[in-house]
Structure 1
Amino acid sequence: MAITEAVENYLETILILSQKQPDVHAIDICSYLGYSRPTVSIILKKMKDEGLVTVDDDNHIRLTDAGRHVAERIYDRHNVLTELFILLGVSRDIASEDACKVEHDISDETFAMLKSHYRKLLEKSDKK
């Protein structure tokens, strides 16, 4: 299974939920993303088969190292892009929505340059 935008969203969601609560279940993902249980179950099975998540006997969903790597990459992109858009004057809600759209399609090279520029902007604002 290719790492599609949908899979990236699921992995990012599992990461976010796991930071907020001790155990993540399929129903938590359904609630967070607004998807039906059958839809989530199908994707979770595929992600499990691909070694991106594990599901234990209590149906606790956990990211594997490979899944965590993808999730952290996307989550970092989301956070940096959101904050950069806010610095540009975009409202937080719109900045977060737009970051979610851009985080999947932007190249590694372009993101690295944006992140570098964002850090420089933060350093300048800290010196004021």
Structure 2
Amino acid sequence: MQIRKSAEDYLEAILVLSKQGGGVRSIDIATMLGVSKPSVSHAMKLLREDGYIAMDRYGTVTLLEKGNDIAVHIYERHTVLSKMLEHLGVSPEVAKEDACKLEHDLSDESFARIKEHFHKVIGEVE
């Protein structure tokens, strides 16, 4: 499950957008991530070639199993880390930004301990 941070961000964005209902299109991803449409098109091409996503003839993006696995993994990290930082008194905006930075580089071991600790302290964090 070793892919680039930017690819993880794209997969996470697809997951979040798909949870909002409706089809996910490249323009939605570009808007959410604040990147250009050509950047998204290039990323979608690479993710499709590597078997992380599928796109239908209308441009609707769907996560395939291995893409979904990574997206869920990153989204969980983002959610837990954001809530942890907010619980520590960090503003929601800063907590979200910092969680984005941490979610990619934190080891699985450290994340598991953080999640376990905050589950004990504040209850369910997901």
TM-score range, shorter chain: over 0.9
Match of 2:116 in 1: 116
RMSD value, Cα: 0.8
Partners of 2:93 and 2:34 in 1: CA distance = 17
> For 1:51, what is the secondary structure of its paired residue?
coil
Post-superposition Cα deviations, 1:73-117, rounded to whole Å, max 9, x if no partner, equal 000000000000111111111111100000000000000000001
Provide the aligned length of Structure 1 versus Structure 2: 122
> What's the offset of the Cα at 1:21?
2.4
Higher mean Cα deviation, 104-113 or 29-38?
29-38
Q: With structure 1 as the length reference, what TM-score do the two structures score?
A: 0.93
> For 2:62, what is the secondary structure of its paired residue?
strand
Post-superposition Cα deviations, 1:6-35, rounded to whole Å, max 9, x if no partner, equal 000000000000011210000111111111
Match of 2:106 in 1: 106
Match of 2:46 in 1: 46
Residue 23 (str. 1) matches residue 23 (str. 2): yes
Runs of 4 or more, structure 1, over 2 Å off, are: none
> For 1:104, what is the secondary structure of its paired residue?
helix
Q: With structure 2 as the length reference, what TM-score do the two structures score?
A: 0.94
Residue 37 (str. 1) matches residue 54 (str. 2): no
Structure 2 portions without partners, runs of 5+: none
**AA in 2 matched with 1:31:** T
Match of 1:6 in 2: 6
**AA in 2 matched with 1:70:** I
Match of 1:77 in 2: 77
Partners of 1:75 and 1:95 in 2: CA distance = 14
Match of 1:56 in 2: 56
